[in-house]
Structure 1
Amino acid sequence: MVINQKNEKTYSGEYASQVNFPMGGIGAGMICLNGTGALTGFSLKHLPDVKNNPAIFSAINIKGGKTLVMEGLVSHESMRLDFNYSRGSGHKLYGLPRFKNSSFSSQFPFGKVALSDDRMPVSVEVSGWSPFIPNDEDNSGLPVIAMEYTVKNDSDTEKEGIISINVPRLFGSRLAKFGQKETGNLSNQGIRRSKNGFTMFNKGSDENPEDEGYFNVSTDADENAVDIAWFRGKGSDVSTILWKNISSGKLIDNSEIITNPPSPGASISVPFKLKPGEEKTIRFMISWFVPFSKIRTGAPTQYAKLDAPSSIKEENYRPWYSNRFSGIDEVSSYWFDNYKSLKEKTEQFTKTFYSSTLPEEITEAVAANLSILKSPTILRQYDGRLWGWEGTLENKGSCAGSCTHVWAYAQSIPKLFPNLEKGMRDIEFKESLCIDGWQTFRTPIPTVQISNNDPQSWGKSQDVAIDGQCGTIVRFYRDWRINGDTKWMKKHYPSIKKCMDFSIKRWDPDETGYTPEPQHNTYDIEFWGQNGFASSYYLAALKAIILMGESLGEDISRYQKIYNLGKEYLEKELFNGEFFIQKIIWKGLRAGDPLKADSLLAAYSPEASELLKKEGPKYQYGEGCLSDGIIGAWLAKIAGMEDICDSDKIKSHLISVYKYNYKKDLFDNEGFNRAGFALNEDGGLLLCSWPKEKSISLPFQYSTEVWTGIEYQVASHLLSFGKVKEALDIVRSCRKRFNGKNRNPYNEYECGYWYARAMSSYSLIQGITGIRYDAVDKTLHIEPQIKGDFTSFISTATGYGTAGIKEGKPFVDIVEGDINIKDIYYVK
């Protein structure tokens, strides 16, 4: 059952079965709080490990009463997902008694589980969180989480009890699974006491430095007991004795084991005493430190070598926090000492964000995808700069390199952590840019300078992407207006110019304003000939460099001429009266024969070669209505530009996308590819449709799929044109798919979990409110598409708060920092 509340949903029963709520710092690792209150998805070693669910559990013992694990009941669905299901899943302790009733709710970044049971005189609220403070990327990037257990005495008599957290050893040879024989040597792994808690450690080796890791748990409770000497044994010996100790109601305090093998795990126990109706919160601070990794990736692999790496440790990715902190003791001490202030600042953000009066589905969609910032999709390098996968698979990243044609959609980081976003632009226009202006759309990690200056020598058309290359120029303009740093823009302008000039040379060599040469793009294929998708990206990039160049006094006449020609062509030749289309062209181009092109997906069989003669290259969209068919106009509007072509035609395209591509259900959808994104009773926005006769036998392979990142892009753009109902239909259908029963509400996936494209949802705020702060001219823009008064969250490079309309007039309420507003541009 899903219960709707103001800006919050409560998931219970089967609707909580898929809930896994990410916690952890930006680029620092992830632990999830699942729908029952269990901790899952431990991904602490810089690679995803989303099925890593060690048997960590917290328990409550009531003096003279029962002992329960502080989680809801384990569902059969959860057990079926376990890799050891066929053998009974014994190592997970699923058979221990738990609370009968549980429900999950959240207000980002806080996840909460309510537990109750008619056998217990107390109820428990479990709360998990990690710091999240706009513009404070360092404290928002700590390798920490917190678990808080609030116990309330619901009886009419005083109650005493003990709450404990019990952690099998996470680093070392034992792999944190009950029932395995204990192994390991105390010389390099084990558990030691620390301030009000314990630290698990594994020292690693010169050959495998990535094995080094530390995990700390501590409490601020004055009275506590720490047991770092669990019973050692095999089979169920360890768990049997551990549960007997917990159920005994005794505070067990054991010192470090000094003989091999190390202790199987450790516990912290905290006693409590409650009068009738009284409640108490017991906190456990969790932190980790994994200084090295085995991650080194990029495509292609012809990169300059790192500057004199001293060892394998320096050749691979290292996390930012290992540069900020010397080790686990410093991390855990910082977390312990600053816990109160970090929670207050995080709560302040949460209170401000959820004070919004915007439609609930918009707030939900934005908040749900902020979870991506706490997922393994994102890494933060040793120098502090951000890097991302497209998404994550079960135990590895999916598609490396902060892929520019995917990350172009993401809008949350530039508004909430603009310094991190600036770092991505710095990489794209320095290390990822060749001398001639070619820009790789996949940045290596560790980030080093691209060494090959001629992408043609690789012989692959997909080595340069039009949406990635042109999109970075538009995003640079956006970020300049967000941070107001004109010196930064001026420093990079020569590189931006090289990037633009290469784009012209590559796709528009005759400077006609349109792009006939084949364009690799986010659909993993090449579009041949002019089309609204590529042309709108191209025009948006031209417009961006024109505006930046004008502000610097540069000669932009060449770009203006090409832009004017392209705008006219887009409006007159690519608009069919309803929407923008593609003119498929493959003859007479500099690219040559499509049969000889080295494309990612477009290899030609003899049958496909015959189709080429009749229809042209496969994987095009031709007369189709592409949901992304005018995406460059959306990106430009989000960046603060005026419409790049006729506004009425843009609006018409978007209305057509809703009319033809939005489906209330997909029972009749002929989906030949990845139906798991949406199927059957699911509603959603198809990537493309052919309202008229389909003239293409083999359209691009993803055309019948549903991608959340594109749904939000279209919805945001519709909102900006006042099409609120249509936009909210799309958003509601999207969020309904992620209902906790069929899919995790906090994990919108595409080519991997926590897919970066889904961060386009943040643009829904700007779409419906028109709120945008321009730090260059110090102007707050408000152009709402809803009637009457409203309150919206606003975040800028120098502060955040709320803005909107109150009693018919614009207002701004700054909660943190400062926003220097010289003028308010309000369009009623």
Structure 2
Amino acid sequence: MKTRRSLAVKGKSLWTKLSVLSSFIFLFLFAASQPFLLAGDKLTPAKKLAASQSNPSPSSPKIPYSDDELFRLGRPAPHTGDQLREIAFPLGGIGTGTISLGGRGQLRDWEIFNRPGKGINFPFTFFALYIESDGRRFSRVLESELFAPYTGAHGYPRQMVPGLPRFRHATFRGEYPLAQVELTDPDLPVSVTLEAFNPFIPGDAENSSLPAAVLKYRIKNLTGKEIKITLTGSMANPVGFDGLGEFNSLSNPVFGQNINRLIKGPVSGLYFYSKKVAPSAPAYGTLALSTTWSDLTYVSHWVRGEWWDDLQIFWDDFSSDGQLSNLEAEDPSPDGRTDVGSLGLKAVIPAGGEVVLPLLITWHFPNLVDYFDVVSEQQGKIYHPHYTTRFNDAWQVAGYLFDNLEALEKETRRFHQAFFSSTLPAYVLDAVSSQASIIRTPTCLWLTNGQFFAFEGCSDRSGCCPLNCAHVWNYAQSLAFLFPQLERSMRQTDFLVNVRPDGSMIFRTSLPAGDKYWDFKPAADGQLGRIINLYRDWQISGDVNFLQTLWPQAKKALEYAWVSWDKDGDGLLEGEQHNTYDIEFYGLNSMLSGIYLGALEAGARLAEAAGDRAAASRYRQVLRLGQKNYEAQLWNGEFFIQKYDLALEKKYQYGEGCLSDQLLGQWLSMVAGLGRFLDQTKIQKALDSIYNYNFKENFYNLANVQRTYALAGEKGLLLCTWPRGGRPPLPFPYSDEVWTGIEYQVASHLMYEGLLREGLTL
């Protein structure tokens, strides 16, 4: 067993590290959802800038919000009532999986088995509170009431203990990485506030990758007399379940020989494991529910009875006096069945006083199955999450976290305070912080060899579209500024693994990286966008060795454009260009040629830094031609378009359309600090056109046969419109859809160029 280790900070405190990153946080905010508001080249408080722009942009009449709505400062509003229904606040670290905190205070979506797990809710797993006040006894599940419809083959699912009393009201406040649920009930002499988080410290990836959920229940005595309480957590032992199928019953062939071990000491609690599951199996692992509270009551496993004996006996025992049976049995569960264990924390609260009860849920599931690989023959191999290099089991995670909780929580709260105390509109703070949570969901993998990988996103039970998709991750900026070492890992994979001998880049990675390669054409936007990202990452790190190591392959990748896409060297791409819309654009087009121009500028600067002056000179020569030709060939007076040979009759183009992504390359260049390569007046006009033509205040009259992400009275930005006509019979797929990622990209670019209200509207 590895020994428990204390938090070691050499030379500087974690907060000092965070302060060093402050300049990067500025860019992270702008890129992730772009709340900082620019006037010219200066950062300007929103209210001041609003006052300086007393009227909306003359050519942008569609500002559906008042200035008071757009520029109102403050914290994000709490959620109540029906708003709580869909809330799922992820609690977990980078590459660890997550448990989500629901809006009612319940735990939901247990995604700790190395794959997404939407809808996985452990049976009979809940927290409850016993209260003894002035001779009266109360017992409540620490959640607000369940939502309708209360339907099912046998009523509401029994495993969710729907018939047990709950608190009447809940208020949820989510300010990532901190969540808070307030529970109240007019019949009770207490109020309860749950604070939940996982350590989140920019620049410290190790301590931001702990497989844990920190739960702190604050119980306040609302009476003038002393009260007694017991807070009990009950949890089913899941070991044997691999995240596939449903875990809605204690009976399942995968279970058997499950053991709930009670451990007492400075850290006490229940340690869940199984003797049935082999250490090499995907379902192998451990889970723990622990606390440093000393006054405890417990039952290692509920009575194994028939019908509903188990829950009935537990609840009667708990609700009678708050004292459990203190059963410490470690007898394994019978084959085909697992057990529930309960841990209670007892306290006496003086009149008007309060108590904070700390709990951790920690997990350790070391075997990650490659079920997703783009190379089918690689599927089925086993990898291991990065956190397994530090911890042997879930109990060791709990020990480390409790040993260092004060420092880790302090740094997490300092980041939270710095972020949410900024003078930005509340909805901007909410949008930016919530997007940062994606880094710490099953979307992202961090393996034992230090390599970081990511899906495009997640389906309910699987990652979607593996891995490190270059053109999709062009849009993502948060990781590079919050945890730059992980973003640099992606660059190393891009250039040291995925660049073929001819210079083309594989844009989906197979595991193990460098063993087998996906046989598919390169994506122009992904390959060229990665050059811009490399420049950004070098600027963030200042690591000359990083640059020198990657430069030869980056040079090869950039110059591949002259072999395949820009054979005449005029600075514009032509021919077949695969891209993020999962099709090929043909001929001259604003989106991909714009990324190319940004890549040329980035390449020139990288070449100079690497001492390759000849390459830098050549890139700038092509860039100058491209700048001239781009505006001459693709500007129609309002926005930039696509030109292709109509005689080819290619499907899935945009032609004369106003593409929301037309300035993607310019935006990437701005984020990376490369500046503008296009005329600013034309940039502003094109952005204004994108807003006016593509932003819709409702979708009542839009016919969309593609995927639907906005409908009826919702607002959104279409990927493309054809305000001057010329819509192809079969335009590119997704053209009538609304993508949040593109909305954020356009919104930030609007703000870069002074179109503040338009950007905030999006």
TM-score (norm 1): 0.79
Query: In structure 1, what is the equivalent of residue 288 of structure 2?
Result: 216
Query: In structure 2, what is the equivalent of residue 549 of structure 1?
Result: 607
Tell me the distance in 2 between the aligned counterparts of 1:86 and 1:569: 69
Query: In structure 1, what is the equivalent of residue 142 of structure 2?
Result: 70
Contact 1:478 1:639 in 2 (8 A): yes
Identical pairs, percent: 35
Contact 2:295 2:347 in 1 (8 A): no
**Taking structure 1 as reference, are residues 180 and 245 closer, same or farther at Cα in structure 2, changes over 3 Å only?**
farther
Q: Does 1:242 align with 2:314?
A: yes
Query: In structure 2, what is the equivalent of residue 777 of structure 1?
Result: none
Q: Partner of 2:328: helix, strand, or coil?
A: coil
Query: In structure 1, what is the equivalent of residue 259 of structure 2?
Result: 190
In structure 2, what residue type is equivalent to 1:544? A
The correspondence of residues 311-322 of structure 1 with structure 2, limited to 5 A, is: 315-322=381-388
Q: Partner of 1:209: helix, strand, or coil?
A: coil
Deviation of the 1:235 alpha carbon:
3.1
**Taking structure 1 as reference, are residues 687 and 219 closer, same or farther at Cα in structure 2, changes over 3 Å only?**
same
Query: In structure 2, what is the equivalent of residue 229 of structure 1?
Result: 301
In structure 1, what residue type is equivalent to 2:239? F
Write the deviation string for residues 346-390 of structure 1: whole angstroms up to 9, x where unpaired.
111111111210222221110111121221111111112211111
Contact 1:297 1:445 in 2 (8 A): no
In structure 2, what residue type is equivalent to 1:570? Y
Write the deviation string for residues 186-240 of structure 1: whole angstroms up to 9, x where unpaired.
3xx3211234101111356559611101001111112112321310124322211
Structure 1 unmatched runs, 5+: 306-311, 453-457, 588-611, 731-828
Tell me the distance in 2 between the aligned counterparts of 1:28 and 1:179: 25
Deviation of the 1:553 alpha carbon:
2.8
Deviation of the 1:68 alpha carbon:
0.3
Tell me the distance in 2 between the aligned counterparts of 1:259 and 1:343: 36
Query: In structure 1, what is the equivalent of residue 447 of structure 2?
Result: 381
Tell me the distance in 2 between the aligned counterparts of 1:542 and 1:450: 30
Query: In structure 1, what is the equivalent of residue 87 of structure 2?
Result: 19
Deviation of the 1:297 alpha carbon:
3.7
Query: In structure 1, what is the equivalent of residue 686 of structure 2?
Result: 653
Specify which of 709, 720, 734 is matched with residue 741 of structure 2: 709
Deviation of the 1:179 alpha carbon:
6.4
Tell me the distance in 2 between the aligned counterparts of 1:285 and 1:631: 43
The correspondence of residues 281-320 of structure 1 with structure 2, limited to 5 A, is: 281-301=356-376, 315-320=381-386
**Taking structure 1 as reference, are residues 86 and 534 closer, same or farther at Cα in structure 2, changes over 3 Å only?**
farther
Deviation of the 1:486 alpha carbon:
2.1
The correspondence of residues 92-171 of structure 1 with structure 2, limited to 5 A, is: 92-171=160-239
Tell me the distance in 1 between the aligned counterparts of 2:277 and 2:73: 52
Contact 1:20 1:40 in 2 (8 A): yes
Deviation of the 1:161 alpha carbon:
1.5
Query: In structure 1, what is the equivalent of residue 524 of structure 2?
Result: 466
Specify which of 616, 625, 640 is matched with residue 580 of structure 1: 640
In structure 2, what residue type is equivalent to 1:66? F
**Taking structure 1 as reference, are residues 243 and 659 closer, same or farther at Cα in structure 2, changes over 3 Å only?**
same
Deviation of the 1:168 alpha carbon:
1.4
Q: Partner of 1:419: helix, strand, or coil?
A: helix
Q: Partner of 1:248: helix, strand, or coil?
A: helix
Write the deviation string for residues 453-509 of structure 1: whole angstroms up to 9, x where unpaired.
xxxxx5x5xx31111100111000011111111221122110100111222212112
Contact 2:255 2:338 in 1 (8 A): no
Specify which of 363, 370, 379 is matched with residue 429 of structure 2: 363
**Taking structure 1 as reference, are residues 123 and 451 closer, same or farther at Cα in structure 2, changes over 3 Å only?**
closer
Q: Partner of 1:405: helix, strand, or coil?
A: coil
**Taking structure 1 as reference, are residues 259 and 20 closer, same or farther at Cα in structure 2, changes over 3 Å only?**
closer
Q: Partner of 1:336: helix, strand, or coil?
A: helix
Contact 1:432 1:450 in 2 (8 A): no
In structure 1, what residue type is equivalent to 2:729? S
Contact 1:232 1:263 in 2 (8 A): no
Specify which of 35, 60, 81 is matched with residue 129 of structure 2: 60
Tell me the distance in 2 between the aligned counterparts of 1:413 and 1:259: 43
Tell me the distance in 2 between the aligned counterparts of 1:722 and 1:114: 40
Structure 2 unmatched runs, 5+: 1-68
Query: In structure 2, what is the equivalent of residue 539 of structure 1?
Result: 597
Deviation of the 1:170 alpha carbon:
1.6
Contact 2:280 2:367 in 1 (8 A): no
Q: Does 1:255 align with 2:328?
A: yes
**Taking structure 1 as reference, are residues 11 and 5 closer, same or farther at Cα in structure 2, changes over 3 Å only?**
farther
Range with bigger deviation, 559-568 or 4-13: 4-13
Write the deviation string for residues 18-46 of structure 1: whole angstroms up to 9, x where unpaired.
11111100110110000000000001111
Query: In structure 2, what is the equivalent of residue 774 of structure 1?
Result: none
Query: In structure 2, what is the equivalent of residue 718 of structure 1?
Result: 750
The correspondence of residues 412-431 of structure 1 with structure 2, limited to 5 A, is: 412-431=478-497
Contact 1:182 1:234 in 2 (8 A): no
Tell me the distance in 1 between the aligned counterparts of 2:530 and 2:283: 37
In structure 1, what residue type is equivalent to 2:528? C
Contact 1:575 1:581 in 2 (8 A): yes
Query: In structure 2, what is the equivalent of residue 42 of structure 1?
Result: 110
In structure 1, what residue type is equivalent to 2:739? W
Q: Partner of 1:325: helix, strand, or coil?
A: coil
Q: Partner of 2:356: helix, strand, or coil?
A: strand
RMSD: 2.2
Tell me the distance in 2 between the aligned counterparts of 1:384 and 1:659: 45
Query: In structure 1, what is the equivalent of residue 651 of structure 2?
Result: 618
Contact 2:303 2:313 in 1 (8 A): yes
Q: Does 1:688 align with 2:720?
A: yes
Query: In structure 2, what is the equivalent of residue 515 of structure 1?
Result: 573
**Taking structure 1 as reference, are residues 438 and 302 closer, same or farther at Cα in structure 2, changes over 3 Å only?**
farther
Contact 1:179 1:237 in 2 (8 A): no
The correspondence of residues 305-344 of structure 1 with structure 2, limited to 5 A, is: 315-344=381-410
Query: In structure 2, what is the equivalent of residue 270 of structure 1?
Result: 345
Write the deviation string for residues 228-257 of structure 1: whole angstroms up to 9, x where unpaired.
131012432221112112212242211123
Deviation of the 1:394 alpha carbon:
0.8
Contact 1:317 1:445 in 2 (8 A): no
Contact 1:465 1:520 in 2 (8 A): yes
Tell me the distance in 1 between the aligned counterparts of 2:733 and 2:369: 34
Query: In structure 1, what is the equivalent of residue 14 of structure 2?
Result: none
Tell me the distance in 2 between the aligned counterparts of 1:385 and 1:727: 35
Contact 1:126 1:149 in 2 (8 A): yes
Contact 2:281 2:367 in 1 (8 A): yes
Q: Does 1:202 align with 2:274?
A: yes
Deviation of the 1:510 alpha carbon:
2.3
Q: Partner of 1:536: helix, strand, or coil?
A: helix
Q: Partner of 2:686: helix, strand, or coil?
A: helix
**Taking structure 1 as reference, are residues 157 and 698 closer, same or farther at Cα in structure 2, changes over 3 Å only?**
same
In structure 2, what residue type is equivalent to 1:629? Q
Contact 1:361 1:728 in 2 (8 A): no
When the two structures are aligned, how many residues end up with a matched partner? 677
Tell me the distance in 2 between the aligned counterparts of 1:440 and 1:229: 51
Write the deviation string for residues 142-162 of structure 1: whole angstroms up to 9, x where unpaired.
101111111001122221121
Deviation of the 1:106 alpha carbon:
1.8
Contact 1:539 1:644 in 2 (8 A): yes
In structure 2, what residue type is equivalent to 1:444? S
**Taking structure 1 as reference, are residues 45 and 586 closer, same or farther at Cα in structure 2, changes over 3 Å only?**
farther
Q: Partner of 2:504: helix, strand, or coil?
A: coil
Query: In structure 2, what is the equivalent of residue 409 of structure 1?
Result: 475
